[in-house]
Chain A
Amino acid sequence: MDQQARSSRIGLEFAQEMKRQSQRERFVSWAPLAVLALLVLLFSLTAEGFFSLKNLQNVLNQVSIPLVMSMGMTFVILMGSTDLSAEGLGGFVGSVTALMVLNSKTTLDMGFLAVVIAMVASVLVSALSGLMHIKGKLPSFMVSYAVSNIMAGFAVLAYRGEPALIRDPFFTVLAQGDFLGIPYLTFIALGVFGVSYVLQTRTRFGSYVMAIGDNEAIARNIGINIDRTKLKVFLWLGVCIGLVGFMGAVRIGRGEVAIGSNVVFPAITAVVVGGTSLSGGKGGVVHSLLGAFIVTVINNALVLLGVSPYVQQAVQGIIIIVAVALSIQHGKSLIVK
């Protein structure tokens, strides 16, 4: 009798705890939005020129690359992996695109076809990187780091020290033009977000990625084709990295390997600040959208505030830690890996 009472009490406590947790999760899932709102409020009050139409356009322009990168990265992180290949691969795509469109260095003038070729190359390389991880059972972190180095090498080889300047007027307009005050590149980024949202919420692929991140063994047992789903994640990542490389080249008007530098960690930061768990299974693209805005707004405001460059990086680091602490789920019941 005693035994029975105890087990029913444990059951009740468990149910109550689960309820508390789900309430907390629901509350916490709004946290990134609250953090963003808080930052916007704070900077509007303190940074001259922050709350203005001109700066809104500016932020929308600057969020485009981190947003696209974080859309590719979200799926990778959702399934519990990490990928660093964008640094070299993005630089490679940007470099060769600049060499294939009308430019200062080669006689080629392939126009939009150049972008398609570079994108296909990006997807293939990312697929190859994914296959080495999936079939070769090598850690994605290491494989992608190696692939990044290889592609950075190819990028440098492609332009041999003197980056090509983009002369194609179409791409110049793409970089600098806007529609209703919103830069064209931002439309591309929002389009990528839209596709990512559909992929995550309206397709089986999206559910599979979540299931794999949550528990790969269970996902395998219920018949999900793990390898194929993972490969698709890397294909999508390849599309996003390709776009990042292309947009980076268009934005600075030339193709150099440095286009890829400083895109990976801001994107991972955006994903995590947005509330997606690094160990997989929790979060999603809407979170990353908010995360990308948080990261961009911080960068933007520190310059507007005129923070001394000597302390800027430190200040940025502190804000990121506070933002992560506020926006991710870290209740007692969760294990942080």
Chain B
Amino acid sequence: MKRMSKLVALVLVTCTLLSCAAAAAQAEPLTVAVSMRSTASEYHMQYVAGAQAFVDSLPAGTAEVQILACEGNDDKQINDINAVIAAKGDNMILFVDPNNAPNITAIAEACEEAGVYWCSAWNTPEGIYPTSYKYWVSHQACDAVKQGYDIAVTLFNALPTPGKGKICVMEGMLANSANTYRMQGLQQALAEYPDIEVLDDQAGDWATAKALTIAENWLAKYDQIDGIWCACDDMAVGVVQALKAKGLNGKVPVTGVDGTSAAIEMVGTGDLVCTIANNGWLQGGYGVAYAYAAKTGKISTDTMDLTHRMFYTNGYLVTKETLPDYVKNFVDSTPVYDYNNLDFPIAKAMDLVK
């Protein structure tokens, strides 16, 4: 009897140990972390949708997306990333849109120490590049200088007298790199169009309400404004509201950048002359695809060339002419890419600041 109960106990213990071992052997899904500013931003949520599309292209149950929204707080972004690293170790990859450029260094060091492969978009300080790190696979951005230039040229040609007139300039947040580069693009275009006069230049801080107030003040001050160059869509929405109140929407051409759904719609109604869609699906999807390829050994940061480490992706200039094509590919359907083709997102290599 005693021997019997010993045997039962032995079987039970063995079974328990076996089941624990089986559970442990079953691999925990890879965490695909996406760190960006806010879940309230339509564009940032495109990153998440892109990352999810990539995860969906993997065998079911092998990876899952985790969103880290820093809500505009630098410390929170770093703390959140460190927390996930502490919980997951190297069983994760990461795509980051740094809240501010200096955050990159802290993130790079944390990932380097933990052995986490990661990619970044938009902000990085001069001289801080993936090429100095093993686990920082690539950095990408839309060419913001080109964006600023393209919308400016589209605006100038849409003025009542093409290439000639008085415009107002609504900047984003001063000292923010996207704004600085878009302004550089505007300056390039202005140099090519000497008959364009800039009446005033104000900072709308990327905010709809502030842009609305500034535009109202412009309309009170100037008798004639031929066009408004606006550095982002959210501000363009505010500018168009101010024009609507005076019955001037559609008559005074306005630009935007970002390709938010509101802006796309306003291009359709003629309230906006153009916007540029950054294509967050492409950025987020390939951001995690590069990190995954490095983690699984498909590519190696030791042998990758400079073009694949730092590159520009193409935005999509949406005007009344290109709108139907954009709606077909990006609004009525979500773009799906071949994430095995890592050359696809590269528009051109970045010029590095030595």
Binding site for B on A (CB under 8 A): 48-49, 52, 54-55, 57-58, 61-62, 104, 155-156, 159-163, 165, 172, 175-176, 248, 251-254, 256-259, 261-262, 299-300, 303-304, 306, 308-310, 312
Contacts and interface: CB of A to CB of B under 8 A. Distances in A.
Do most interface residues of chain B lie in helix, strand or loop, or is the interface mixed? helix
A262 B204 CA distance: 13
A309 B202 contact: yes
Contact of A160 (B45, B203, B261, B265): B45
Given A175-B241, A248-B209, A258-B209, A163 B41 contact: no
B198 to A, nearest CB: 11
Contacts of A303: 200, 202, 213-214, 217-218, 221
Contact of A262 (B202, B210, B222, B265): B210
24 contacts: A48-B221, A49-B222, A54-B220, A55-B217, A55-B220, A104-B265, A156-B38, A156-B40, A161-B40, A161-B41, A161-B44, A172-B244, A175-B245, A176-B244, A251-B209, A252-B237, A252-B238, A258-B207, A261-B207, A261-B209, A299-B213, A303-B217, A309-B171, A309-B202
Given A248-B209, A309-B201, A254 B237 contact: yes
Given A309-B171, A309-B202, 9 more contacts: A156-B38, A159-B40, A163-B42, A163-B262, A254-B237, A254-B262, A261-B209, A309-B174, A310-B174
Given A175-B241, A251-B212, A304 B220 contact: yes
The 8 closest A-B CB pairs, nearest first, are A309-B203, A49-B221, A303-B217, A176-B245, A161-B45, A58-B220, A55-B220, A156-B40
B307 interface: no
Interface in B205-239: 207-210, 212-214, 216-222, 237-238
A144 B310 CA distance: 45
Most buried by A among B45, B200, B244: B200
Contacts of B45: 160-162
Interface of B: 38-42, 44-45, 171, 174, 200-203, 207-210, 212-214, 216-222, 237-238, 241, 244-245, 260-262, 265
A58 B216 contact: yes
Given A54-B220, A258-B208, A309-B174, A162 B203 contact: no
Nearest to B246: A176
A242 to B, nearest CB: 17
A304 B217 contact: yes
A304 B215 CA distance: 11
Contacts of A308: 201
A58 B212 contact: no
Nearest to A301: B217
A150 to B, nearest CB: 13
A55 B209 CA distance: 18
Contacts of A58: 216-217, 219-220
B212 A256 contact: no
A306 B241 contact: no
B53 to A, nearest CB: 16
